[in-house]
């Protein structure tokens, strides 16, 4: 497979493992607050990422990079915005259903396209923008039909805030990866280790100082916390690699296939039925993915 097309399988793998992680986070959110659930995402991911980086260097030796001030700023900003994005998504899970929470947070693709074109120099063709627009409509349908008054302004703002923070995270990660003169797998691995290290330090420090009972509740659920961290580390590595290879807006639009995995998990895990509205949303997700991927396949 040509390197130019590798972002597609990485994105699909990221979407599946992220949907799995979100379902596990939904489970944990019934017992632990948003900050605790957010830490569960990262706490075991740090040693897993470090082991992966070491194995990568053992298999494919490369130089140890010089980390510029811009790289450190990028990974630090990405670490903070990913914490905020995850915490806001957990709040969505606590206010709405698993499927609705993921659906609202998936506004990130359109936001990433807008921010990327305004501030990060990303250029999108008309077909790519059409794919983003179709994907946005699909997400709106897939969030479900709200009962009167149930989708209040606060919930909507929390969802858009989560999507915005996820979009900023991936834009900063892409910029950080481009600061390292290494093979794409190595750059993604270094960005992952740096980002998770900052996140674990910030969240653990906060909970030690302000909320030690939450650390105890995480300690009492080791299996679920490890599964969340494992799926999270795989998802982050795949996302970081994909956005290192392709524009963030395109990766995140194709990544909306995650909603399809979300519905499968919701139906088979939570025994929820898929409505006609949601089936229409699935068709639009497929159309969005085709519109996004087709230009890359044709040009390469």
User: Residue 97: which residues within 8 A CB-CB, separation 6 or more?
Assistant: 144, 266, 272
Question: pLDDT value at position 139?
Answer: 66
- In the predicted model, is pLDDT for residue 146 greater than 60? no
Question: pLDDT value at position 99?
Answer: 58
Question: pLDDT value at position 148?
Answer: 46
Quote the CA–CA distance of 131 and 135 in Å, as a whole number.
6
Question: pLDDT value at position 226?
Answer: 94
Convert the pLDDT of each residue in 68-116 to its tens digit: 999 999 999 999 999 998 888 888 776 655 555 566 666 666 666 666 6
Question: Among 251, 245, 248, which residue's Cα sits nearest to residue 183?
Answer: 245
- Token pair 């590798």 is found at 6
What tokens were used for 109? Answer: 């693709």
Question: Among 16, 166, 157, 19, which residue's Cα sits nearest to residue 95?
Answer: 157
Question: pLDDT value at position 107?
Answer: 64
Band of pLDDT at residue 145, cut at 50, 70 and 90:
low
CB neighbour class for 64 (10 Å; exposed up to 12, middle 13-18, buried from 19): exposed
Convert the pLDDT of each residue in 183-196 to its tens digit: 988 999 999 999 99
Q: What is the mean pLDDT of residues 192-204?
A: 95
What tokens were used for 7? Answer: 């972002």
Band of pLDDT at residue 143, cut at 50, 70 and 90:
low
Q: What is the mean pLDDT of the chain?
A: 81
82-86, 146-150, 254-258: least confidently modelled range: 146-150
């Amino acid at each position: 497979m040509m390197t130019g097309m590798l972002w597609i399988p990485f994105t699909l793998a990221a979407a599946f493992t992220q949907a799995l992680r979100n379902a596990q986070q939904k489970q944990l959110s019934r017992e632990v607050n948003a900050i605790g659930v957010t830490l569960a995402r990262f706490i075991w991911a740090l040693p897993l990422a470090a082991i992966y980086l070491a194995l990568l260097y053992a298999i494919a030796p490369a130089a140890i990079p010089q980390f510029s001030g811009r790289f450190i700023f990028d990974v630090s900003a990405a670490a903070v915005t990913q914490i905020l994005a995850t915490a806001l998504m957990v709040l969505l899970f606590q206010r709405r259903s698993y499927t609705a929470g993921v659906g609202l947070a998936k506004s990130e693709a359109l936001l990433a396209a807008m921010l990327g074109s305004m501030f990060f120099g990303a250029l999108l063709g008309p077909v790519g923008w059409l794919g983003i627009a179709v994907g946005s409509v699909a997400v709106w349908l897939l969030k479900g039909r709200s009962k009167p008054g149930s989708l209040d302004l606060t919930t909507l703002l929390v969802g858009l805030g989560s999507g915005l923070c996820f979009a900023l995270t991936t834009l900063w990660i892409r910029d950080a990866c481009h600061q390292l003169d290494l093979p794409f797998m190595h750059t993604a691995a270094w960005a992952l280790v740096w980002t998770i290290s900052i996140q674990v330090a910030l969240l653990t420090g906060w909970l030690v100082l302000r909320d030690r009972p939450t650390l105890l509740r995480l300690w009492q659920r080791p299996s679920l916390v490890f599964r969340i961290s494992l799926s999270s580390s795989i998802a982050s590595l795949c996302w970081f690699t994909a956005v290192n290879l392709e524009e963030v807006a395109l990766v995140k639009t194709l990544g909306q296939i995650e909603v399809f995995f979300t519905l499968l998990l919701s139906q088979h895990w939570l025994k929820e039925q898929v409505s006609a509205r949601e089936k229409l949303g699935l068709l639009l997700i497929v159309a969005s993915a085709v519109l996004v991927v087709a230009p890359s396949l044709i040009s390469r």
